[in-house]
Amino acid sequence: MVVPYTHESVRLTGRWAKLPGSAVTTAPGAYIECSFAGDMAVLRFDTTRNLPVVPHLWISVDGGCRTEVMLDRYLRIRTAHTGLHTAQILFKSASEESARWREPLTGAVRFLGVQTDTPVALKPDTRPIMEIIGDSITEGVSIDTDYREGMLPPLECNALTLAFQNDAAATWAFRTAEALNCRPVIMGYGSVGVTRGGQVRVPAAPAAYPYCYNGEPLDIPQADLIVINHGANDYAATPERYAAAYTELLDAVRARSPLATVFAVSAFRGTHREALAELIPEYNRAKGCRVHFVDSAGWIPPEPLHPHRDGHKTVADRLVPIIREAMQKGR
């Protein structure tokens, strides 16, 4: 039988627009879980609007190793033995040059459902929800550029094979959520800042945040934790403009999740570090709240702009204990 994405055997985590007949995401790091009994399941997607470079997915079964595949209409999972299985299908990467905000969404993942003889209801996922809001670093752009041996030269690689080099599941954002046993809800788009829009007409972060993509409101439970990392793409803005736009974003996330603990992490390259350090105490006094400023100065080198896997691991290793300590103190 074919069960829709709304079936109790299917669960979506991340920034998904839940439409009649399909669930759509344009944010790498979003994922699907499905549970079935037997030895086979076929995932179904709508790929009619996708254009090269198509999104890439990670597929793992029963918590095992991930296998990278390119999005296709049908993706078959065949297990080694008959039994109860759970599969995770994660939006690994997309090209920054694919449309992911305005129709036609050539870089989106449109999930329809699963074909399996015996779908099995998933147990509830009661982990805290952690939203991570950032830019191309947060979505994992160029994590694996040191693994492009034998591929095209760098400029052509960026245009044609960048989806092979990106990995949302290896980012500081995803690693931090996993280490804290949280459900990650990741928002990261290339070139976006709090003061400027990004690639293929994605708006600036304060305007984009309330939506999965243009016109489709974000529909997730309120977050328990929110981590923001914006500034790298705001280099052309004055400190005053940056502070004003960052305030807009803080207002938006706190309005949506008023009980969440919020962490404002300074840009890893140091852009507007001083402005953010000054803003957060002022914001807390004005709003009567507790947003945590996290100074990331010196965590990783300023180059490369997009850290490789080891750089992302370093950031997560530094950030996790800071968040954990704040949560243990109930702040």
Q: pLDDT (tens digit, 9 = 90+) per residue, 107-124?
A: 999 999 999 999 999 999
85, 59 Cβ separation under 8 angstroms: no
d(CA 114, CA 36): 9
3-class secondary structure, 298:
coil
Instruction: Say if strands 74-93 and 56-61 run parallel, antiparallel, or are unpaired.
Output: antiparallel
Q: What predicted TM-score, i.e. pTM, was given to this entire model? A: 0.96
Is residue 237's pLDDT more than 70?
Answer: yes
pLDDT tens digit string along 252-267? Answer: 999 999 999 999 999 9
Distances (CA, A) of 322 to 20, 210, 226, 258, 328: 41, 27, 13, 21, 10
pLDDT tens digit string along 85-98? Answer: 999 999 999 988 89
Q: How confident is the model at residue 146 (pLDDT cuts 50, 70, 90)?
A: low
pLDDT score of 153: 54
pLDDT score of 156: 46
Is residue 106's pLDDT more than 90?
Answer: yes
**210-238: average pLDDT:** 97
**210-227: average pLDDT:** 97
Residue that wins the pLDDT comparison between 165 and 26: 26
Q: How confident is the model at residue 159 (pLDDT cuts 50, 70, 90)?
A: low
% pLDDT > 70, the chain = 95
DSSP alpha helix (H) spans, the chain: 136-139, 154-160, 162-165, 172-179, 205-208, 239-256, 273-287, 309-328
pLDDT tens digit string along 26-45? Answer: 999 999 999 999 999 999 99
% pLDDT > 90, the chain = 89
**Mean pLDDT rounded to a whole number for the chain:** 95
d(CA 208, CA 205): 5
3-class secondary structure, 251:
helix
3-class secondary structure, 76:
strand
Q: How confident is the model at residue 211 (pLDDT cuts 50, 70, 90)?
A: very high
